[in-house]
Structure 1
Amino acid sequence: MTGRAGGPRIVFWRHGQTSWNLESRFQGSTDIPLTEHGRGQAQRAARLLAGLRPDLLVSSDLQRAADTAAELAKLVQLEVQLHEGLRETYAGSWQGLTHTEIRERYPDDYAAFGRGEPIRRGGGELSSEVADRSVPVVLDAFEKLPEDGTLVVVSHGGTIRTMLGRLLGLDPTLWECFGGLSNCCWSVLGQGARGWRLLEHNAGTLPEPVIGDDT
């Protein structure tokens, strides 16, 4: 991320690995901690992100995101501002189930989800509702940046996808065009004269498989 054009930017950073990621369980808003490997991912990625000299650091208040953010906070001497609005999509009865279990118990909804249709997974939130609660948190923090400043937002794969789609002005039916984020990888938006631009997506230390709720 060197040699970029001037202007402010937002780094959307996904949390590190959890045991439910490894088991292919839908986490949603369930508060699952990082594994030891996940904490190591956060420490490694934080060393890279510290080089961006972030000005503000905001995070989901779920522990997997908050603990990821804390690794960067220690390096850059910033306070982490925790926000419930940055949590992962609430997925109701799907939370805690594996993808195989969901497919067996809710075949019609799971098929619709796989087609990218707007459904309330497990009776939970729509992606557009997640964007409604998360994007204002980001924009409020963005307004507090110094000129050409950097905001780091630590959140979850599904929520980051909705924020990218909303900020880039894409119709919700197109949000699936953003592939999933690997654990502890990030995407970057920059702002220019014509609005937001996607500068990087799923960047990180090394290529890693995407494992999470949206796979």
Structure 2
Amino acid sequence: MSEEARLRETICAMARSVFDRGLTGGASGNISARLSDGRLLVTPTGSSLGTLDPGRLSLLDTQGRLISGDAPTKEMPLHSAFYETRGAKSGAIVHLHSTHSVALSMLPETDPDNVLPPLTPYSVMRLGKVKLLPYFRPGDAAIGEAIRGLAGKRGAILLANHGPVVAAKDLEAALYAMEELEETARLALLTRGMSPRMLTPAQVRDIVDHFNIEWE
């Protein structure tokens, strides 16, 4: 099986897993992954992550032009911006409308520079600091400009009233990080107002230094 065929199958299998577990519903959410030659495979616009057809995924050339398949997600501006600014660190991008993350994005006390409280070591390890960006109309090119404004320093963001976006070295890493983001958001909401014991600044710094985590 070719690299492209394997990646097509992997995208669809992982997308189905996300959908079946209720991490995004209906025709929401989108995924992209980069082939070794720089081309992108992207989930099509208006498609459900639960019923993707490997043969109908959008195949884009290195300039973002459609080569084959259905038209790509309208959220290509955010995907393109991550690939441009994160370089080799971004081999795949997952964007979902996961409930707890969206809820956290709407709370006025959420820290826009570091959305997730330090509740677990794995949220620090897999995500670093998660930046909250303001609301944009879905598909708005301004989302891409806001991501470019981060200069490649963040691998995960949360779009206000919309949902999280995670970029990672490959599809598996991006999905694991996305799951960690949603679970940590859920923990934050469950423990809200209960004064939970969080990781101390020293404990966070130990994780950041030991695992060489981006923390700007």
TM-score with structure 1 setting the length: 0.27
> Of the two structures, which has the highest relative contact order with CA contacts closer than 8 Å and spacing of 6 or more?
1
TM-score with structure 2 setting the length: 0.27
